[in-house]
Amino acid sequence: MNEAVIISWPNDIEDADANELISLSTDEIIIKESRTETKLWAAYEWIIPTTFVVTLTNLFFKSFFEEASKDVYKLVKSRLKGYILKRRELKTQLIAAAASPDKLSKNYDQSLSISLKARLHTRLLVNVMIVENVQDEEADGMLEGLFQVLELLYQDCQQQMPEENINRENRPDEIYLLANPQTKQWDILTPKQMSDKYKTR
């Protein structure tokens, strides 16, 4: 696979904004779509795929460090930030089964409409949750900080174990990135820490 960015959304939704992003695809940064089926899920909120998912591969971040691709990287990053912020405005609600109304977390504060995944390395997948309760005027800076964190994580992965291509057959370790409105930083959580943070009381 040579995609740098993959944008996923359900088959029964038209997404002109996603199509506009896909039209920015170049030889340096290939952007593709992946249409999905709407289905029922029984899982924690943060495991259920959001309606819209932006997936970034290591090829996207590789272009950040290549002089010939830097301008394209900046343009696509800027448009991705706008896309994420626009999709964050859409509100999605999960419905619990009548027999188990307490299954859903009472304090889950992340968007159910949009999320981002960054496959930075064969061994690492970063799940980025987009917080609901950050004010619009702060949200752009929040996302700029997100890309800085992802760029640093990618660079660290490449320094420790350089690789040109991700082996997609390998199951990566997964971590979560959550914006912290109090500290204005991005917190890194393990799956267990996510479960502890949002488990039902």
Q: pLDDT per residue over 82-103, tens digit each?
A: 999 999 988 766 555 455 555 5
pLDDT bracket for residue 5 (50, 70, 90): very high
pTM for the model stands at 0.88
d(CA 54, CA 18): 10
Q: pLDDT per residue over 16-36, tens digit each?
A: 999 999 999 999 999 999 988
Residue 126 has pLDDT above 80, yes or no: yes
Residue 160 has pLDDT above 70, yes or no: yes
> What's the confidence (pLDDT) of residue 43?
58
Mean pLDDT of 168-185: 92
Residues linked to residue 174 through DSSP beta bridges, in sequence order: 125
Number of domains into which the chain is organized:
1
Mean pLDDT lowest for which of 32-41, 46-55, 89-98, 190-199? 89-98
pLDDT bracket for residue 109 (50, 70, 90): confident
Residue 75 has pLDDT above 90, yes or no: yes
Which regions of the chain does DSSP assign to beta strands (E)? Answer: 5-10, 31-36, 52-57, 110-121, 124-131, 173-180, 185-189
Task: Mark 85-103 as b/e (b = at least 16 C-beta within 10 Å).
Answer: bebbeeeeeeeeeeeeeee
Tell which residue, 152, 149, 142, has the closest CA to residue 183: 142
Q: Report the percentage of the chain scoring pLDDT > 90.
A: 60
Domain residue limits at 133: 5-198
Contact present, 127 and 31 (Cβ < 8 Å):
no
Residue 41 has pLDDT above 60, yes or no: no
Question: Across the chain, what does the average pLDDT equal?
Answer: 87
Which residue type does 177 have? L
At 104, list the tokens. Answer: 């859903």
pLDDT bracket for residue 15 (50, 70, 90): very high
Rg (CA), the chain: 17
